[in-house]
Each structure stands twice: as C-alpha cells, then as structure tokens.
Amino acid sequence: MPGNAVGLSAGVRTSEAELIDRARRRDEAALREIMQANNRRLYRLARGILRSDSEAEDVVQEAYVRAFTHLDGFRGDSGLSTWLSRIAINEALGRVRSAKSHVALGAVPEEALEAQIITFPVSPAGDPERTMAQREIQRVVERAIDELPDVFRMVFVARVMEGMNIEETAGLLGVKPETVKTRLHRARTMLRENVEKEIGPVMMDAFPFAGWRCERLTEAVLKRLGIGG
C-alpha cells in the first residue's frame, strides 16, 4: 500500500479538501484512500509507543473511528495526515497511561483531537538461506529499535522510518526542531550500538554455504571437468 500520506502543497490541499468532504459524507472510496495513505505511518507511530503489533493495530483502528466520526471538527490547521497521527499518538499514550506505565514523548498538543517495520529487499526465488538470514537481521534491527528509550524511539520512527521532516516531527511530538535533531542523533548512536551487540552471531550465517548452493557449485565444477552428466 502507499506509504506517503496526503501532502500539504497548495494543489494537494484542494484535493485533500475534496477528499475530506467526501469522507464526511461516508464515501467508501474516500475513506479507503485516506486509510491506505496513512495506515503505515499510524501503525508505526503507535507501535513506536506500545511496542506491540496487535495493540498498534487496535490503536490505528480506534484512531480512524474517532477521526471519521469527528471529521466536522477538522479545521485544517495542519494536514490531514498530521491530524490523524496526533489522534493515533494520543490513543496509544492513553493506553500506556491506563496500563499505569510512563512514556515521556514531550508535550503532544492537547488539542490534537480537535485539530507513521523496516523493509528489506525480497530475496530471489529459491534462496531460502538468504531469506532466513535477512529475516534474522530484520528481527535484530526491530529488537534494537524497541530497546530505544521512548523519546528517542519516537523521533527515529517519525524521521527515519516514516521520512517525516524535522519541522513536521517537531510539530507532531510537540518539541523544538533542535530537540528532534539531538534526539535523532542519539537514537542513531544507540541503535548502532544495540545492533552491533547482536549482529555478531547473526553475521556468522550472513553468507551461508550449504544445501543447494553447495550442490550447485559441485555440479558446476564437475561439468567443467567433463565429469558426470
């Protein structure tokens, strides 16, 4: 599904306004378009707070329900994507608070309700060993991201995984742009350190030489030597 949220340029704003108007009238195509454009971002932002796939999915669903039933309250002060993101963040934070946990993400605007997994290349068909190695590396990276402190993890998710710019990230999390830069630098440093702790054992299997690869090489050599069929 598309990963880019609805944009904010002048031309796109007109299109966005039309889309919102259709959504207010419960136009199915419009609702689908909004969700498809924002699903990944909302999921990643929610998961960045909750660190749970299933809870993140629940939060995204709840965020959409709340947003679509309160579209008349959308003033357009920010883009639709930012508005939805704030709703999802507030919903996720609410779940954390209800579980009596503490997440310090900065001052997410209280008026938010009134107002984003790393993709890896697909392995070639017939290469199960490389696929397994890539999956294990992905798990290592995901664990390392989950281990980041909340304030750094959210900035990393927004800036790196969702590609949000500094100003948008700052506005979303209610912090200064300078704070975003500082936290992102720290997040990258910590992430690199966390990955390096675990990557050693994984790298032992990064270039597997067994099974079908071993057989293919053997047969190729024998063929070049004119031995066998």
CATH of the domain at 215: 1.10.10.10
Q: Tell me: pLDDT of 222 over 60.
A: yes
Q: Tell me: pLDDT of 108 over 50.
A: no
The span from the CA of 177 to the CA of 223, in Å, is 63
CATH of the domain at 37: 1.10.1740.10
Number of domains in the chain: 2
The span from the CA of 71 to the CA of 193, in Å, is 43
Tokens in use for 88?
A: 């999802």
Structural domain for 51, as ranges? 10-113
- Distances from the Cα of 134 to the Cα of 69, 100, 119, 141, 202, angstroms: 41, 36, 10, 11, 9
- Residues 97, 52 share a domain: yes
The span from the CA of 137 to the CA of 152, in Å, is 21
Q: Please check whether residue 178 lies inside any domain of the structure.
A: yes
Which of 51, 80, 113 delimits the end of a domain? 113
Which of 85, 113, 141 delimits the end of a domain? 113
Question: Which residue from 4, 83, 86 is spatially nearest to 45, judged by alpha carbons?
Answer: 86
Mean pLDDT of the chain: 76
Which of 113, 137, 170 delimits the end of a domain? 113
For the chain, first and last CA: distance in Å?
Answer: 48
pLDDT recorded at residue 126: 54
- Residues 149, 101 share a domain: no
- Residues 210, 133 share a domain: yes
- pLDDT band of residue 15 (cuts 50, 70, 90) is confident
Q: Phi, psi at residue 156, to the nearest 5°? A: -65, -45
What pLDDT digit, counting tens, does each position of 147-196 carry?
899 889 999 999 988 889 999 999 989 899 999 999 999 999 998 888 87
Q: Name the residue type at position 140.
A: V
pLDDT recorded at residue 27: 87
Q: Please check whether residue 5 lies inside any domain of the structure.
A: no
- Residues 203, 132 share a domain: yes
Q: Please check whether residue 1 lies inside any domain of the structure.
A: no
Reported for 145-150, long-range contacts at CB under 8 A and 24+ positions apart, including other chains, are 145/191, 146/51, 147/194, 148/187, 148/190, 148/191, 148/194, 149/190, 150/49, 150/103, 150/104, 150/105
Q: Please check whether residue 4 lies inside any domain of the structure.
A: no
- Residues 189, 163 share a domain: yes
- Residues 101, 17 share a domain: yes
Q: Tell me: pLDDT of 117 over 80.
A: no
Q: Please check whether residue 2 lies inside any domain of the structure.
A: no
- pLDDT band of residue 198 (cuts 50, 70, 90) is confident
- Residues 134, 165 share a domain: yes
Element (H, E) at 24: helix 10-24
- Residues 84, 17 share a domain: yes
What pLDDT digit, counting tens, does each position of 22-36 carry?
989 888 888 999 998
pTM of the model as a whole: 0.62
